Every structure is written in structure tokens, then in C-alpha cells.
Structure 1
Amino acid sequence: MNKLTPGGNMRWESMRMILPEHREAWLKHQEENKKVQQPVLDEQHWQEFEYILSEAMEYHQLLTFIFWHDGHFYEIIGHCHFINNTQEQFHILTVDEEIHYLKFDVLINLALH
């Protein structure tokens, strides 16, 4: 549609620009819309995780931890070095020799790597 087309809004036709503040707000809004609510795991999932963890810790196997943080899912691959029941977190040693602490309540999935 150009300015001469009937039905066009000639008054606002020349104002097709977005202020940087509006663009940032729009991008932030789009990012907020992409967020996912944290899934709730049932007892059966926790029993399966317990079995996988015991096998992996006994035979020193790599695990893939998928966890939820701030509306997004993330993945850590490593060995479960220690399970801290008092602080309710896993101590994970990655392949890069980094230690991550992962809370029980953010864990979404656990699988052998």
C-alpha cells in the first residue's frame, strides 16, 4: 500500500520508526512470553531418578541433568559427585572439571549420557 492508495493512513505513513526504548521493551516482552512454567514431577519420576543416580554413582557414569531456571530449560552433563540431603542439592562434576550445585526442586529430567 502506498500513500496514494485509498484507505491508507497518510497522516502516520511517514512515522514508521521505533524508538530504542520501545524496541527494548518489545524484545523484553517477547522474551517473557517464551518463558515456561516449571513442571511438577510425581513420585514415579523421583523413583526413576533415584535408580538412575544409584547406578551412575556406583559405576561412575556420565549423567545428563535437565533443569528449569527462570522459565527456561538448561542441561548439565557430568558425574554426580555427591548428594547433599540437608541442603537438597546435587554436587555435579562436569567433564570440564567444574562443580555445579543443582537444587532438587529444579530438576526436570535425568538420564544416562
Structure 2
Amino acid sequence: MAINKLTKGHNLRWESSRMMLPEHVSALNASRFDATKDKKPTIDEQQWEEYSLIIQEARANNRKVRITVWSDGFFRDMIGWIHSVDPQLKKIRIDLDEIDVVYINLDEIAGVETMD
């Protein structure tokens, strides 16, 4: 007797049910990717005051700072000099070097520390 997918006692009976649609595969991959994301940290008033003091001192004394930024579920560090702070737009301009400039939204900041 030849083995086929309908032969009793063999695991071939349900082989066709193992197929996944491309939409399901991409949704599963997106779900796995979303599981690796970190939640946005909540920063209380006392921490904001500490961060603003560090930012003001670093800007006044031209000191290098490391700002930890939360963006779309991931943290990254920006190291550079604070050029300006715009309270109306709620953005900080950081010069990473002589060429690269980055604008950071204040609500994305997760940490600030001086490098010196």
C-alpha cells in the first residue's frame, strides 16, 4: 500500500493545514517586533527640573551631554552640545559634531547627563 496524505497512521493527513498566508506571516512578524519594544517612560516633575538644570548648565558652559531619547519603542543615546532650546516648539537643538545637527522633542527625552 502506497503512503499518501489519507493513509491512516501517518502524519501526512494534515500536512496541507500547515500553510500560512503571507498576510499572517507578516502580522506574526510585526507582533514579534512589537513585543521587543520598550514602553515610554514616565518622568515626574522633579526629574524634569533636574534635566532642565543640567541642560541649562551644559548650554551656558558649552559642556557635552548625553541625552537618552525614546522613539517608537526604542531608546538611543545622543551625545553632543546643546545649541538651543525652543520652549514654544518644545524642541532642543543638539550639535553632534561640526556638521550633524539633531532636533529632539522634549517629550521624547528619557534621560540627560553631562559627559565631562
Paired residues, number: 107
**Partner SS, residue 11 of structure 1:** helix
Q: Deviations over 1:62-113 (max 9, x none)?
A: 1111111111112211111000011111011112521111111111101112
In the alignment, the residues of structure 2 paired with residue 11 and residue 17 of structure 1 have an alpha-carbon distance, to the nearest angstrom, of: 13
Tell me if structure 2 keeps the 8 A contact 1:77–1:95. Answer: no
Task: Describe the SS at the equivalent of 1:12.
Answer: helix
Structural RMSD (CA):
2.3
Give, in whole Å, the separation in 2 of the partners of 1:96 and 1:18. Answer: 51
Instruction: Measure, in 2, the Cα distance between the counterparts of 1:22 and 1:43.
Output: 43
Kindly indicate whether the alpha-carbon contact (under 8 Å) linking 1:78 and 1:95 is maintained by their aligned counterparts in 2.
yes
Contact 1:67 1:109 in 2 (8 A): yes
Structure 2 residue aligned with 1:52: 54
Report the TM-score, using the length of structure 2 for normalisation: 0.76
Q: 1:70 aligns with which of 49, 69, 72?
A: 72
Q: Which residue is 1:95 aligned to? A: 97
When the two structures are superposed, what TM-score results if normalisation uses the length of structure 1?
A: 0.78
Point out where structure 1 has 5 or more consecutive residues left out of the alignment: 1-6
Q: Find the aligned partners of 1:9 and 1:48 in 2 and give their Cα distance.
A: 64
- The higher radius of gyration belongs to 2
Query: Residues 1-113 of structure 1 correspond to what in structure 2 (within 5 A)?
Result: 9-12=11-14, 20-95=22-97, 97-113=99-115
Cα displacement string for residues 15-62 of structure 1 (whole angstroms, at most 9, x for unaligned residues): 767665543332211111112221110111111112211221122111
How far, CA to CA, are the matches of 1:8 and 1:76 in structure 2? 58
- Aligned residue identity for 2:39: Q
Q: Distance in 2 between matches of 1:50 and 1:86?
A: 15
Name stretches of at least 5 consecutive residues in structure 2 with no aligned partner. 1-8
